[in-house]
């Protein structure tokens, strides 16, 4: 029985070493590629061209924008067109120029860039801004709260009166001596 465990342990060690070696040699591309491949078309492989190197990230296409996190973990949104998305190795890919914040088309031409981090911050501010209630709705809300508090006060008052009446009834019954 021990031989089976030794075989299983040796195979697991071989798989882990092979995985670490492949991931090391591909500079993290293997994890990103597997994540995109497993998503079955829901995610996109983003190839970010920096000044000195190229790195890969998992991105998602939101209507006309590609959303991904860069190396500093900042979420970036860059507008893309259909011509910028191409298919390679069985997954959808998009090329991004990191220094210009622009999308590179498969033929090498670039689309005008913008500040993606500032755009993302503005997008989050728009989504999380507080809703402003107008005066009519505030008055309606205030009156509803007053009515509810009045109803609760009325019920409490009625319970106090009922309790007082029950105490008076109990005292009258005790004075009569009917119940022991």
pLDDT average, residue stretch 8-33: 89
**Confidence at residue 84, expressed as pLDDT on a 0 to 100 scale:** 81
Q: How confident is the model at residue 116 (pLDDT cuts 50, 70, 90)?
A: low
E strand intervals along 110-170: none
Q: How far apart are CA 11 and CA 7, in angstroms?
A: 6
**Confidence at residue 135, expressed as pLDDT on a 0 to 100 scale:** 83
**Confidence at residue 111, expressed as pLDDT on a 0 to 100 scale:** 63
Strand pairing of 44-49 and 91-97? parallel
Output Rg (C-alpha) for the chain, integer angstroms.
34
Least confident range of 116-125, 135-144, 147-156: 116-125
| 49 in Cβ contact with 95 (< 8 Å) | yes
For the chain, the maximum distance between any two Cα atoms, rounded to a whole number of angstroms, is: 105
Residue 7 has pLDDT above 90, yes or no: no
- Distance, C-alpha 23 to centroid of its chain: 27
Residue 175 has pLDDT above 70, yes or no: yes
pLDDT average, residue stretch 59-88: 84
Tokens of 86: 């191409």
**Residue the block writes with tokens 């040699």:** 25
Highest mean predicted confidence (pLDDT) among 3-7, 15-19, 105-109:
15-19
Residue 68 has pLDDT above 80, yes or no: yes
**Residue the block writes with tokens 């005790």:** 174
Residue 114 has pLDDT above 70, yes or no: no
Q: Which of 56, 15, 4 is nearest to 32 (CA)?
A: 56
Task: Give the mean pLDDT of the chain.
Answer: 83
Q: How far apart are CA 89 and CA 35, in angstroms?
A: 13
pTM greater than 0.75 (yes/no)? no
Residue 12 has pLDDT above 90, yes or no: yes
């Amino acid at each position: 029985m021990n031989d089976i465990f030794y075989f299983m342990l040796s195979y697991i060690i071989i798989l882990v070493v092979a995985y670490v070696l492949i991931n090391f040699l591909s500079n993290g591309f293997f994890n990103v590629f597997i994540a995109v491949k497993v998503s079955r078309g829901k995610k996109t492989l983003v190839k970010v061209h920096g000044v000195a190197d190229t790195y890969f990230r998992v991105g998602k296409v939101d209507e006309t924008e590609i959303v991904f996190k860069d190396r500093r973990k900042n979420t970036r949104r860059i507008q893309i067109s259909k011509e910028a998305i191409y298919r390679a190795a069985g997954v959808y890919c998009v090329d991004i120029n990191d220094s210009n914040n622009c999308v590179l088309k498969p033929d090498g031409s670039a689309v005008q860039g913008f500040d993606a981090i500032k755009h993302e911050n503005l997008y989050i501010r728009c989504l999380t801004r507080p809703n402003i209630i107008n005066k009519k709705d505030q008055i309606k809300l205030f009156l509803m709260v007053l009515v509810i508090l009045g109803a609760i006060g009325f019920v409490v008052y009625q319970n106090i009166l009922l309790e007082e009446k029950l105490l008076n009834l109990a005292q009258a019954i005790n004075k009569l001596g009917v119940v022991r």
